[in-house]
Chain A
Amino acid sequence: MIPFALTLLILLPLLGAFVTLFGARNGRQARWTALGFSLGTLGYGLWICFDFIASGGFGRGLFDFSYVESAPWIPSIGITYALGMDGLSFAMVLLTLIIFPPAILFAFSEHHELPKFFAFLLAMEAAITGVFLAQDFFLFYVFWEAVLIPMFFLIHGWGGENRRYAAMKFFIYTHVASVVMFVGFVAMYMQYAAETGVYTFDMVAIGRFLSSHPEFKDFQTVAFLLVFFGFAVKMPSFPFHTWLPDAHVQAPTAGSVILAALLLKMGGYGLIRIAVTMLPEGAKVWVPLMLVLGVASMVYGALVCLRADDLKRLIAVSSVSHMGFVMVAVAALNSIGIQAAIFQMFAHGLISAMLFMMAGAIGHNVGTRKVSELGGINAKVPQIGAFTMFAFLASLGLPALVGFAAEFGVFVSFNAAFGYLVAIPLITVLATAAYYLWASQRAIMGPLNPKFEEAEIPDLKPFETTALSALAALVVLFGVLPYLFMDYVGPFSAHLAGLFAGGVIP
């Protein structure tokens, strides 16, 4: 593998952002430059991922990372520039690489100031990749915050009617949570310094130390709560989810796709990587909290969706519900649970990308996203209808699609840890099916709404179909052959569960 492989993976989209911003003179150039860079990043990233699989990097120990790059950045404070990849970050980086080209394809239909739009998108790709690869707490925080800024500008500049309010709410809410999370990081830094005398932000060093010293239970309890707050707001978990529906509804299509598919996964990634792995004693203490919040997210999300009218709002709140699955899977603290959580993040990333693309397409082509105003549009725009149905079915967990495989893992782990309480997630799935099928019956498949009788509704364009087909193929692939994914996060999950040797239920 080439030196600085991971830095290059982060720099490539960033370079693309600069080239698009300053080089592209019109919309057409911006579109293709951005697409080119995202596909280039995808290609390069896949090369790294295949090398990772071939070299067996996913099978190494809990804090053994591959392609580690480390350079002193600010030694006086103990900040290093450190990157590394293991099974968990491999999964998330893979998701990032896969999602961006279709998202950029779907952004082709944006109207004004395209170079800036695509520059922001590519900058986000760089920052998100950085979050998943960072091995130093400060660097992690920098990338985490860096994601917020392009997203804010995307919502503010290209969003819907109420975009200023939504952008501000998104930024302030998640920023405050990030600061609390950073305070947790500093607490871990100080604890490590107090015990070993070394002042460093290195995640591997601190993680190894804290996870192997169960005597700091009190400290871990507090620190877990601090960092958990930051991740819970990001995931988002009930009751900290209120920024999400507004942000999604007002964001442009590509922005929503990235927000749902990737930003939310940052929260889940942080939960597993930092909160659970490095603060196991704290995690054990707060399992009831995670369980309650996760279940509340699932149930609340499902119930609100039953009443949602705007399709985008419906899908946004369903994201809250699906990330609740991630939270309860993590709360189970067993090997299957962690595996299922990671897989659910991956699955939900693919599916929600498709869902938001369809919501955007419907809104753009038909003119309205409200279920009450739509009706049987499948008759007029069969491609939109087909892909929307497919996405809905994937999201509600139809077997043979990736959603089912992930949720099944969640149920198994939930049952292993919490016994008969698994009835609650099962009923949630029922509710999920209910609202999706009801929405699709009213909006897509039912009788055609008379006002569309004479209307000319454009169907999907070729580039949109390409994007959606690619995602759909992956949804089917990983749904039918889930081991293609699970095998590579299995060892990580097993090692992590080993930390909780006693398990939650002894």
Chain B
Amino acid sequence: MNEVALASAPVAERHADAPPATAKGWVPFVAFALPFALLVGASMYLLRSAELLAFSPQLVLIAAAMVFPLAPRRIRSNKYLALSASLAILASLALVAVMLVGDVFARGPLFLLGAPSLTIAGGSLKIDAFALTFDLIFLGAGLLVAIASWSNEIQRTTYQGVYFMLLLLTLVGATIVASAASLITIFLGLELAGISTYAMVAFVKTNKLASEAAMKYYLIGSTSTALVLFGLSYLYGVTGSLDIETISRRLAGVSASDGGVVVAIAFLVGGFGFKMAAVPFHLWAPDTYTGAPSPVSALLAAGTKKMGFAAAFKVIVVGMVAARAEWSVLFGLLAILTMTIGNTAAVRQTSFKRLLAYSSIAQAGYILVALSIAGAGGRAGDTAVAAGIFHSLTHMVMKSGAFILVGLFVALQVGEDIEDLRGLRTRAPFTTFALIVLMLSLVGFPLLAGFWSKYYIALAGIEAGGYYWWLVAALLLNSAYSLYYYARVIRVAWFEEAPKGAPELHEPWHLKLALILVVGFVLLVGLFPEPFFVLSQAAAQALF
């Protein structure tokens, strides 16, 4: 048996004292899922209200999430679970896409909803282009994570159904944050996604590194949620309302140096900063991303991080637009710190996974630049918000792809270090191609997705003028700086010789599929970014 077959051998064959695994994981699952889906579909049809339809992406995910825990405790292969999760997420994506197309490209009301935006659930949720765009981002990350979760790491655990339930609930929480119209809703979404991810990080109970990572993440995450709550409460205290639009109106009448506003800004930036893994709130991120199983790292880096940004866009950019001189400077400083420290730390890494963790931190810095420029207002501010959304989208795809690559390397027993990637060109040509495309895109190489996102942010900064030139300069310098470590990975994989006797690698088909999707998207956006620019601009406009 070659190494790959050995690694995917059932657990029972390797631990003689373990109870025998159940044969087929999908039978009970389908037995419950099918009638449940029919029930949900029927009720949606019967009720047929626009409100329900607007919430339908989340409903699909919730319905599916409720079914997954019914899977048996011990399953040999979670292939069908991953497939079902992917299908559920795809269904949700389809609903989001249909709604978006109606709004963004037909320039008409949201399809099925009959209005450019819909406020539902008593004013706590607002479904508009911004919410739908971020839904797209979260669901895209979720889809890639679901495909990548069919892996040996996860398969060796018990209660795998719960893992997928947590994945779907994370997505629900994130989409709720993006659709939030009220402060409490934001908090709820953050908590839902947060708790689900705490558990996902710790899911492989036998992995000590993962458990430690989960502990760190849980403690710091809970603290950050407390900070956010405190900031939100001050915002409520100053303005007397929980509704974001009302807050933004009422805050205009309040002096920006009012103590309450200052406290609110400080705590909110701190709390959201934890979620975004901005410096100096980033200390949990490298350990968590490195210790967690690769699909979960992908979810954290690509999904929940963007959730922090969505919340920041809503609460700070929109809600506290009156105080923008203050938080603009704050975000600017954070951005420069984050980019620089993220890149500096990444340069020194020998582990590929940890390098990606620090690179995520640095990339979050670019979105912080966009957040800061959003404070400039006017045309430049609008471009900056659109640029931040665009970078969230492209970075989601790139980072998911990168962490899927790490998962691939672990599955193929290549290893997590950069040196383990030596001579990958001869051992796995397609994977090397994907690796190079993703690394170059993260650097900002022209005609790849990453280039456009940095360019768009820089454009916004140049339009804003004044002190924002420094931010643009910092962005460009950091881009050049990051070339150093991305190029090192490329050099090792492409130009170095493979170690003697290293076997040729055969990638599992589902990971290859995920990588094809990712690389295809990166190349597509690189060559034809226009539709995505339009999308980001529509989302930015819907925000205000």
Mostly helix, strand, loop or mixed at chain B's interface? Answer: helix
Is A74 a contact of B529 with CB atoms below 8 Å?
yes
Per the bound structure, the CA–CA distance linking A156 and B495 in Å amounts to: 9
Chain A min CB distance to B204 (Å): 41
Instruction: Report A-chain residues with C-beta under 8 Å of the C-beta of B537.
Output: 76
Instruction: Report B-chain residues with C-beta under 8 Å of the C-beta of A190.
Output: 462
Is A77 a contact of B533 with CB atoms below 8 Å?
yes
State whether A141 and B533 are in contact (beta carbons under 8 Å apart), knowing that A77-B459, A186-B462 are contacts in the complex: no
Chain A min CB distance to B357 (Å): 27
Interface readout for B516-540 with A: 1 if CB under 8 Å, 0 if not? 0000000000001110011001000
Instruction: Report A-chain residues with C-beta under 8 Å of the C-beta of B529.
Output: 74
Chain A min CB distance to B355 (Å): 21
Is B447 a contact of A142 with CB atoms below 8 Å?
yes
Mostly helix, strand, loop or mixed at chain A's interface? Answer: helix
Per the bound structure, the CA–CA distance linking A156 and B537 in Å amounts to: 42
Per the bound structure, the CA–CA distance linking A156 and B491 in Å amounts to: 12
Per the bound structure, the CA–CA distance linking A164 and B494 in Å amounts to: 13
Interface readout for A259-296 with B: 1 if CB under 8 Å, 0 if not? 00000000000000000000000000000000000000
Residue B108 at the chain A interface, CB threshold 8 Å: no
Instruction: Report A-chain residues with C-beta under 8 Å of the C-beta of B533.
Output: 74, 76-77
- Return the chain A residue nearest B455 by Cβ: A77
Per the bound structure, the CA–CA distance linking A207 and B118 in Å amounts to: 47
Is B530 a contact of A75 with CB atoms below 8 Å?
yes
From residue 68 to 86 of chain A, which have CB atoms closer than 8 A to chain B?
73-77
Is B446 a contact of A145 with CB atoms below 8 Å?
yes
From residue 174 to 193 of chain A, which have CB atoms closer than 8 A to chain B?
186, 190
- Return the chain A residue nearest B458 by Cβ: A186
Instruction: Report A-chain residues with C-beta under 8 Å of the C-beta of B446.
Output: 141-142, 145
Is B530 a contact of A76 with CB atoms below 8 Å?
yes
Per the bound structure, the CA–CA distance linking A156 and B494 in Å amounts to: 12
Instruction: Report B-chain residues with C-beta under 8 Å of the C-beta of A141.
Output: 446
- Return the chain B residue nearest A144 by Cβ: B446
Per the bound structure, the CA–CA distance linking A73 and B495 in Å amounts to: 35
Chain A min CB distance to B260 (Å): 39
Instruction: Report A-chain residues with C-beta under 8 Å of the C-beta of B462.
Output: 186, 190
Interface size class of B (residues with CB under 8 A): 10 to 19
Interface readout for A139-156 with B: 1 if CB under 8 Å, 0 if not? 001100100000000001
Instruction: Report B-chain residues with C-beta under 8 Å of the C-beta of A76.
Output: 530, 533-534, 537
- Return the chain B residue nearest A138 by Cβ: B446
Instruction: Report A-chain residues with C-beta under 8 Å of the C-beta of B528.
Output: 73-74
From residue 476 to 512 of chain B, which have CB atoms closer than 8 A to chain A?
495
Instruction: Report A-chain residues with C-beta under 8 Å of the C-beta of B447.
Output: 142
From residue 452 to 470 of chain B, which have CB atoms closer than 8 A to chain A?
455-456, 459, 462
Per the bound structure, the CA–CA distance linking A49 and B368 in Å amounts to: 51
Per the bound structure, the CA–CA distance linking A141 and B447 in Å amounts to: 11
Chain B min CB distance to A53 (Å): 34
Interface centre among A77, A141, A142 (most CB of B within 10 A): A77
- Return the chain A residue nearest B536 by Cβ: A76
Per the bound structure, the CA–CA distance linking A476 and B537 in Å amounts to: 59
From residue 328 to 358 of chain A, which have CB atoms closer than 8 A to chain B?
none
Instruction: Report B-chain residues with C-beta under 8 Å of the C-beta of A145.
Output: 446
Per the bound structure, the CA–CA distance linking A186 and B460 in Å amounts to: 13
Chain A min CB distance to B382 (Å): 12
Per the bound structure, the CA–CA distance linking A156 and B462 in Å amounts to: 37
Chain A min CB distance to B195 (Å): 39
Per the bound structure, the CA–CA distance linking A76 and B529 in Å amounts to: 9
Chain A min CB distance to B373 (Å): 15
- Return the chain B residue nearest A78 by Cβ: B459
Chain B min CB distance to A74 (Å): 5
Per the bound structure, the CA–CA distance linking A76 and B462 in Å amounts to: 15
Per the bound structure, the CA–CA distance linking A156 and B446 in Å amounts to: 21
Per the bound structure, the CA–CA distance linking A145 and B446 in Å amounts to: 8
Which of A74, A142, A156 lies in contact with B530, CB distance below 8 A? A74
Instruction: Report B-chain residues with C-beta under 8 Å of the C-beta of A77.
Output: 455-456, 459, 533
Chain B min CB distance to A21 (Å): 13
Chain A min CB distance to B416 (Å): 27
Instruction: Report A-chain residues with C-beta under 8 Å of the C-beta of B456.
Output: 77
Per the bound structure, the CA–CA distance linking A142 and B455 in Å amounts to: 14
Interface readout for A108-142 with B: 1 if CB under 8 Å, 0 if not? 00000000000000000000000000000000011
Per the bound structure, the CA–CA distance linking A75 and B459 in Å amounts to: 14
From residue 212 to 235 of chain A, which have CB atoms closer than 8 A to chain B?
none
Per the bound structure, the CA–CA distance linking A437 and B329 in Å amounts to: 67
Instruction: Report B-chain residues with C-beta under 8 Å of the C-beta of A156.
Output: 495
Instruction: Report B-chain residues with C-beta under 8 Å of the C-beta of A164.
Output: 495
Instruction: Report B-chain residues with C-beta under 8 Å of the C-beta of A142.
Output: 446-447
Per the bound structure, the CA–CA distance linking A435 and B537 in Å amounts to: 62
Chain B min CB distance to A66 (Å): 27
From residue 417 to 467 of chain B, which have CB atoms closer than 8 A to chain A?
446-447, 455-456, 459, 462
Per the bound structure, the CA–CA distance linking A145 and B530 in Å amounts to: 21
Per the bound structure, the CA–CA distance linking A141 and B455 in Å amounts to: 14
Chain A min CB distance to B55 (Å): 31
Per the bound structure, the CA–CA distance linking A73 and B459 in Å amounts to: 17
Per the bound structure, the CA–CA distance linking A186 and B455 in Å amounts to: 11
Per the bound structure, the CA–CA distance linking A259 and B455 in Å amounts to: 30
Per the bound structure, the CA–CA distance linking A74 and B537 in Å amounts to: 13
Chain A min CB distance to B281 (Å): 32
Instruction: Report B-chain residues with C-beta under 8 Å of the C-beta of A74.
Output: 528-530, 533
From residue 104 to 135 of chain B, which have CB atoms closer than 8 A to chain A?
none
Chain A min CB distance to B483 (Å): 9
Per the bound structure, the CA–CA distance linking A77 and B462 in Å amounts to: 13
- 23 example contacts (A-B, Cβ-Cβ < 8 A) are as follows A73-B528, A73-B530, A74-B528, A74-B529, A74-B530, A74-B533, A75-B530, A76-B530, A76-B533, A76-B534, A76-B537, A77-B455, A77-B456, A77-B459, A77-B533, A141-B446, A142-B446, A142-B447, A145-B446, A156-B495, A164-B495, A186-B462, A190-B462
Q: B-contacting residues of A (Cβ < 8 Å)?
A: 73-77, 141-142, 145, 156, 164, 186, 190
7 new A-B contacts, CB < 8 A, other than A73-B530, A156-B495, are A73-B528, A74-B529, A74-B530, A76-B534, A76-B537, A77-B459, A141-B446
Q: Which 5 A-B pairs have the closest CB atoms?
A: A76-B533, A74-B530, A145-B446, A74-B529, A142-B446
